[in-house]
Amino acid sequence: MTDLERRQDRAPVPSGWDYAPAPEARDIVTLEERYGLYIGGELVEPKSGEYFPTVSPASEEVLAEVGQAGPEDVDLAVQAARDAYDNGWSTISPAERAKYLFRIARILQERSREFAVLESLNGGKPIKESRDVDLPLAAAHFFYYAGWADKLEYAFPHRRPRPVGVAGQIIPWNFPLLMLAWKIAPALAAGNTVILKPAETTPLSALLFADVLRQAELPPGVVNIITGDGRAGAELVKHPDVDKIAFTGSTEVGKAIQRELAGTGKRLTLELGGKAANIIFDDAALDQAVEGIVNGIYFNQGHVCCAGSRLLVQESIYEPVIEKLKRRLTTLRVGDPLDKNTDVGAINSKQQLEKIEELVRSGEEEGADIYQPPCRLPEKGWWFVPTVFTNVAQSYRIAQEEIFGPVLSVLTFRTPDEAVEKANNTPYGLSAGVWTEKGSRILSMASRLEAGVVWANTYNRFDPTSPFGGYKESGFGREGGLHGLEPYLDLEDSEVRG
Ligand code: NDP
């Protein structure tokens, strides 16, 4: 017997896979007790005189108080953006604009740990996701669009790209900093100025971003950040001096914004909900597919508009897939977002938790079978156990409505045609996944699926060079890539206009 074998003989057999706590240091973030609104390059007190608390969804602890922008505040922010637009930003050399964007990108990289901790603290997402996904991607968007700022004429040949003016941007709570980057980077690269409204529950990373803007010496008023609830968003939408609105959030609010803007001539892009099909064919690499299913729906607690929330499994592999999936679910660690081992963090708000619970109850009542792995949840905060529903009919609410939580609905299919029909049987059209070893099948499925993004043998991959956006009730307009610049540019045809 060799030494190695002897040692293995004596090695204790592990009795479980518990991990020791590995908390990220919270003290890298310094929070103020109270934050004002970032208007004209300064944090100013809201004229409304109103503040509201922002909490950690993992502990319900109040982290800070944040200003509620009223109509007068929105007006001041729009004036600041207009002044900055008229008095320099739209006319400085594009290469100068690019320098600011590069600076912002580099500062985000330098301060990425601080931002990652804050993002997890205020939003509830696992630190490994904020650290490895949100922050690198946010910086990458600024780098990417910095590159385009002085090349717009090459990007749109025979056109005369000019900025649109003042952009109002409203973002949700699921990727607070990343959505900010998706919105602000292309707008600035194209020469616009911005008023951004972060979501009510996750304002802190946007307020820390204001500090990055000061550090980068961005001219005052080019970016303004107004915090507050939906009322602030609604004021921004209807302000007469805003030229363009970019919105990411629920389909319901998206529709209300579209109605409000009808006939005003303001530009609009909407990135709304989704109910994506993640389709597994019987020739797929099953273990990889199961990882893709887990990433597709449990990433960021399922608070993802493009989440693979409907799993479509080919009937012949249904049993092994479900068995592997259930086994994999037992290994997911749910808990403290700041622990580096955590896979599934806290639900973003009590209101969102109640929405998830209500939809899950409806699934049980309508007749689906529920599976939840054994899981001990923390006592304080808002949590939901990763859940799988089998025996789901297409008509059930859990197969039709966006749950926006860690809840997967499983359906089956026999043929590619049936998979396409079921995948497209939704009012949404944001994303889809296809798992198969056949390239030809990937191409044929991608062309038949009504979805803005189709991932093949992977899921939830994002890249600043790649356009993202939806069809049908998932909205219109694209963010990312060259397409993401178009909504922020007037593209005059130089040949026609001479
Ligand atoms: P909302 O659509 O209400 O919120 C998105 C953003 O719009 C927030 O900043 C919100 O402010 C703001 N807003 C709210 N009302 C108005 C209004 N009338 N005019 C202008 N802006 C407004 O989403 P919720 O946070 O309420 O989430 C509800 C559901 O929407 C989720 O359960 C999920 O299904 C879906 N959703 C989809 C997202 C996506 O990425 N597609 C993202 C977030 C949610 P405030 O935060 O104060 O409400």
What's the count of helices (H) and strands (E) in the chain, helices before strands?
18, 20
Contact 66, 227 (CB under 8 A): yes
**pLDDT more than 70, % of the chain:** 96
**Whether the predicted pLDDT of 498 surpasses 60:** no
**Per the structure block, which two tokens stand in for 6?**
């002897």
CB of 468 sitting under 6 A from ligand 1: no
Ligand 1 atom with the shortest distance to the CA of 197: 9
Least confident of 16-20, 23-27, 29-33, 482-486: 16-20
How confident is the model over 182-207, as a mean pLDDT?
A: 98
Residue 5: pLDDT over 80: no
Prediction pTM value: 0.95
**Candidate list 24, 119, 129, 305, residue with the active-site label:** 305
Ligand 1 atom 21, closest CA: 233
With a 6 Å cutoff on the Cβ, whether 402 touches ligand 1 is: yes
Cβ(216)–Cβ(109) below 8 Å? no
Q: What average pLDDT does this structure show over 201-228?
A: 98
129/329 Cα distance (integer angstroms): 18
196-208 per-residue burial string, b: 16 or more CB within 10 A, e: under 16: bbbbbbbbbbbbb
Please indicate whether residue 255, judged by its CB atom, sits closer than 6 Å to ligand 1.
Answer: no
172 C-alpha to ligand 1 centroid (Å)? 6
Residue of 74, 174, 200, 250 with the most ligand 1 atoms within 8 Å of its CB, for mutation: 250
Q: Does the pLDDT of residue 13 top 70, yes or no?
A: no
Q: Helix, strand, or coil here: 52?
A: strand
Element housing 152 (H / E):
helix 152-155
Q: Sorting pLDDT into bands at 50, 70 and 90, what band is 4?
A: very low
169 lines ligand 1 (CB under 6 A): no
Whether 309 and 276 have beta carbons less than 8 Å apart is answered as yes
pLDDT range class, residue 495, cuts 50, 70, 90: low
Q: What is the pLDDT of residues 39-55, one digit of tens each?
A: 999 999 999 999 999 99
pLDDT per residue over 399-419, tens digit each?
999 999 999 999 999 999 999
Measured in Å, residue 253 CA sits from the centre of ligand 1 at: 7
Q: Compute the distance from residue 254 Cα to the ligand 1 centre, in Å.
A: 8
The upper half-sphere exposure of residue 424, i.e. CA atoms within 13 Å in the direction of its Cβ, equals: 13
pLDDT classification of 299: cutoffs 50, 70, 90: very high
CA of 388 to the centre of ligand 1 (A): 25
Please provide the DSSP assignment of 154-214 as one string. Answer: HHSTTEEEEE--EEEEE--SSSHHHHHHHHHHHHHHTT-EEEEE--TT--HHHHHHHHHHH
More confident residue, 111 or 494: 111
DSSP-derived 3-state class of residue 148:
helix
Q: Is 271 a catalytic residue?
A: yes
Report whether pLDDT(497) > 80: no
Active site (annotated) includes residue 365: no
Q: Which of 136, 370, 100 is nearest to 218 (CA)?
A: 100
Which among 129, 271, 401, 486 is annotated as catalytic?
A: 271
pLDDT given for residue 43 in this prediction:
97
Distance linking the first and last C-alpha atoms of the chain: 87
Average per-residue pLDDT for the chain? 95
- Model confidence pLDDT, tens digit, residues 129-152: 999 999 999 999 999 999 999 999
Q: Whose CA is nearest to atom 28 of ligand 1?
A: 250
